[in-house]
Amino acid sequence: MSGFTAGVIVFPGSNCDRDAANAWKELGCGEAKLLWHQSTDLQNVDIVIVPGGFSYGDALRAGAIARFAPIMDEVAKFAAGGGLVMGICNGFQILCEAGLLPGALARNEGLKFVCKHVDLRVETTNSPFTSACEKDATLSIPIAHGEGRYVCTPEMHAQLVDEDRILFRYASDNPNGSQDDIAGVLGGPRRNVMGMMPHPERAVRVGLGSADGACMFQSILATLTQAQV
CB of 74 to another protein, least distance (A): 19
- Catalytic residue flag (residue 201): yes
Asked if 37 and 10 count as a contact pair (C-beta separation under 8 A), the reply is: yes
Q: At residue 162, what are phi and psi to the nearest 5 degrees?
A: -60, -40
Stretch that binds another protein, among 6-14, 23-31, 44-52, 96-104 (CB under 8 A): 96-104
Does residue 109 belong to the site contacting another protein (CB under 8 A)?
yes
Residue from 58, 74, 97, 123 in contact with another protein (CB under 8 A): 97
CA distances (Å), 146 to each of 16, 53, 94, 169, in order?
16, 11, 15, 18
Catalytic residue among 29, 89, 133, 215: 89
Q: Whole-angstrom Cα distance, residue 222 to residue 214?
A: 12
Does residue 177 belong to the site contacting another protein (CB under 8 A)?
yes
Does residue 73 belong to the site contacting another protein (CB under 8 A)?
no
Asked if 143 and 115 count as a contact pair (C-beta separation under 8 A), the reply is: yes
Does residue 159 belong to the site contacting another protein (CB under 8 A)?
no
Q: Starting at the earlier edge strand, list the strands of the sheet with 114-122.
A: 30-36, 4-10, 47-50, 84-88, 193-196, 182-187, 166-170, 114-122, 138-145
Residue from 103, 146, 148, 187 in contact with another protein (CB under 8 A): 103
Catalytic residues: 89, 199, 201
Task: Name the site residues for another protein (rule: CB under 8 A).
Answer: 60-61, 64, 68, 96-97, 102-104, 106-111, 151-153, 177
